[in-house]
Structure 1
Amino acid sequence: MAGFEPAVLVLEDGKRYVGRAYGATGRTLGEAVFATGMTGYQETLTDPSYAGQIVLMTAPHIGNTGTNDEDMESRRIWVAGYVVREPSRIVSNFRATRSLDDDLVAGGVVGISGIDTRAVTRHIRSAGAMRSGIFSGPDFELSDSEQLDLVRSGAEMSGRNLSAEVSTPEPFTVPAVGDRIGSVAVLDLGVKASTLAYLAARGFDVHVLPQMVSATDVLELEPSALFFSNGPGDPSASDRHVALLQEVLRAGVPYFGICFGNQLLGRALGFGTYKLPFGHRGINQPVLDKSTGRVEITSQNHGFAVDAPIEGIIESPAGFGRVEVSHFSLNDNVVEGLNCLDLNAFSVQYHPEAAAGPHDANYLFDRFRDMVLSTQGDAE
């Protein structure tokens, strides 16, 4: 552990929070956001959707269960920086093989501890997510104005396309588990390992594709369905992925999208997207399923949302027939799901794979499987 070396979190509006270095020392820049989960920090750190973001944990005590290889959601830690109130001094869990600090140091993740994370969270909730930086080691000695200039020179999340940074460089396949029912082409925009495992468990051969593939590449696989994953960045900067999705939808291929894949379905259908003030991040976000009236506690990580009315049936502006908002957030009425009434396509804004929980939305993978089976029945 970095011990008691000083560190400072600097926000672009000039707010400063001095604490202790945690993880690697040095300098890092990114968008400051907060995540409300009390558990699952390893899943958060290795979720590619957090690329480019300095993540603050609202739970005050982080690291007590250590880390392991089983709970990795991707090949590495993706967060730009990490902010915690009180790092655990010991690791106490039978599944742990190393400490969280070990992983942060090995991954070169610059962090800070010992600051009032509740105060930072309240500030971000009032002022919105913003550019920020963590400075420790020699960079801590930079003047306040130099640190602030570095933060303000950093890239804003709006307009950023980060898919190429997190996507697999080469295609690979996860074979179906049990009785095979077909194949699904997964456009990897930052997919989590548990998502692939859940799709394979439903009987799909899962063909994971780099984000630069074309619609022709997808259709040549003759997949039973297409899946767009979660991922970081601004959906308005992903025109190529939207065009790919529109072409594959016109070819009649069933579609399921989560998180970033929900925003891209919204854009493909002709709706806009917009940046949320501070986003939804954590494993305790309440969502209403309009079809059942059931409230689901969901895992989320998104800073952008689809701009569509949450009531009524809407005609797709892009000519894909009737669409309805299927789910919405009970915190702020943000669109949390889309359902196409004239296409075999639906999406949700949250993470139904829900590692590290909860599992209220796991049924959506079964719904996807049932939709694919029904289209196979129609074709016979």
Structure 2
Amino acid sequence: MHSTFLRTWWHQPHSYASVVGYLGLHGALGPYRLAAALSTFFYGLGAAALLLLTDAPPTSAIGRSIFVVAIVSTLVVGVAWLTAPWPSKRVSLMFAAYSDIGTTLVLLSYGSPQTIYLALAMLAANSVYVQLFHSPRVMALHLLWAGTAVALFFVLISLSPDADHGLAVAQLVVLIPITFMGPTFFQYLLLKLQVQAQAANFDPLTQVRNRRGLDEALPVYFLGATDVSVMVVDVDRFKSINDRFGHHQGDAALQLVARRLTRNEVLVARVGGEEFAVVTTSAEAEARALAEEYRDAAHSAEDIASLTVSIGVAHCTYPSAEDIGLDAVELTTRLLRVADAAMYEAKKQGGNRVVVAGRSPRGDRPA
């Protein structure tokens, strides 16, 4: 049972960009940025207090230098948290390593290992950042570092004839669950919740987004966009595929269409039985060209059931959404209605074709 838990934890998927995007969408990055900055400042203040106010400060020149570097660097990093853009995944990994290495070196440079031993629980505080923003593999490296630090301090205390060895054992017993059990369990739980939340946003048959998942992704996807194009893609004569080949083949046909629609930098969602939505930040001409590519790609001579699609396209310039008071989801909903009407026009013309809507959702000619 324990091995199953660890194996599941180890193999759970994780996406740094998804976590940052989700927190940003729900307004949580600002508070977390402030918390990270304050925590960094407090670590620096703690190092300053150990250096200046305690009875057993570091006595070596190297030890004092480590404390000075720690104090200055925490000030710089804390200010960066408040003023710089949100860190990339690589920079975030560097911050996690900086926190672990810096904390350990400062505590190791202190004059009394036993006095400072329980302060290694600060490494568990570092775990909060790692378990939220990084994968189980990064957490494993963090725990390996923390375990090595806990063991090293215990050995140093054990080798000291003046140390209270019984107290050291009691401190070790306190540190083990704080350092290892809590962080691992809570990351496992967080990742489980992330997987379940993502599953609710995807269509189980085709593995593309559902309408809820599309709406969830739109605000982040539209950041920096100047154009928005929406397509409604409907499988032609889908009922005849089910009637002739059976529902199993109908499901397989939908899966094929979903795969042929999926491209990098494009949002794809199944929004009806045999109907898909494609959202892209392309200009109208580029969107029409992409729609024609989709129409060509939908059919393959190797398919058991011959597939064709009808596609309606609608476009507008994205800043116009501010002019009419629409957010990303509302704008996309209007464009979907326009594209849906264009798709039905393609159906009336015999199917297997692309129709571009003549007007934007505001009623004027598209940009």
Please state which band the TM-score falls in when normalised by the shorter chain. under 0.3
User: Which structure is higher in helix share?
Assistant: 2
Question: What's the TM-score once normalised by structure 1's chain length?
Answer: 0.26
Please report the TM-score for the alignment, with normalisation by the length of structure 2. Answer: 0.26
> Whose strand proportion is higher, 1 or 2?
1
